[in-house]
Amino acid sequence: MKKSREKLRIGVLVSGGGSNLGAIIEACNTGEIEGEVCVVLSDNKDAYGLERAKNHKIENYFVDKKEFSDREIFDGELVRILKNHHVELVCLAGYMRIISASFVKAFPNRIMNIHPALLPSFPGLHVQKKAVDYGVKVSGCTVHFVDEEVDHGPIIIQKAVPVLDDDDGDSLAARILKHEHRIYPEAIRLFAEDRLKVEGRRVIVSG
């Protein structure tokens, strides 16, 4: 049962093109998600995701890791900005840094990530090429809650995507990306409707 509520306040972290950010913004604008992206953060000043935020008049910040002595202190600045914007859900969207335990603790089961493979298969980076090179026939994408291990938290939604004989890493990545843009907004929508219940490693979707 969809519960009426104030719009979910979403903070998004990007490092690159931000196509998943674009899909999330679009889903908020169409009303698919009862939410709004209220702040975008990046560790990369040239991230096009920051441009996307600007184009949608969303507050956005480049946080320069060189100005912070270590990851914990850098992450502390990210958490400070997110809390100042009263963010209720943090979405990592092509964000390339590993977040610290203190960051995770600041938003327990309130940080999501999109990974372009079917976890627990192919964690880490360049996973589309790894899937092609391994010879799998099916790969896909995963939205999961972020815990203190990399690519490990409870899985919310997955989508299987076929690997074709003539695929390379780039062609598979492009096919998977289209599905990322569907399942990430869907996972956020379910969260906004308070329909996700984490039970140990499992995420139960209600209603």
In the bound complex, which residue of the shown chain has the CB atom lying closest to ligand GRF? 94
- Taking the least distance from each CB to ligand GRF, the nearer of 65 and 129 is 129
**In the annotation, is 115 catalytic?**
yes
Binding-residue pattern over the window 114 to 133 for ligand GRF, x denoting contact by CB under 6 A: x-x-----------------
Rounded Cα–Cα distance for residues 116 and 119 (Å): 9
b/e burial code for range 94-130 (CB count within 10 A of at least 16 → b)? bbebebbeebbebbebbbbbbbbbbbeebeeeebbbb
Give the number of residues written for the chain: 207
- Taking the least distance from each CB to ligand GRF, the nearer of 35 and 94 is 94
Q: Among residue numbers 49 through 78, which ones bind ligand GRF (CB under 6 A)?
A: none
Active-site entry in 115, 144, 179, 181: 115
Q: Which of 8, 13, 19, 100 binds ligand GRF (CB under 6 A)?
A: 19
As a 3-state breakdown, the chain gives helix, strand, coil percent values, each rounded to 5, of: 35, 25, 40
Copy the structure tokens of residue 129: 């090429």
Q: Among residue numbers 80 through 99, which ones bind ligand GRF (CB under 6 A)?
A: 93-94
CB 118 within 8 A of CB 129: no
Q: Among residue numbers 165 through 184, which ones bind ligand GRF (CB under 6 A)?
A: 173, 177, 180
**Can you give the binding site for ligand GRF, defined by CB under 6 A?**
14, 16-21, 93-94, 114, 116, 173, 177, 180
Give catalytic residue positions: 115
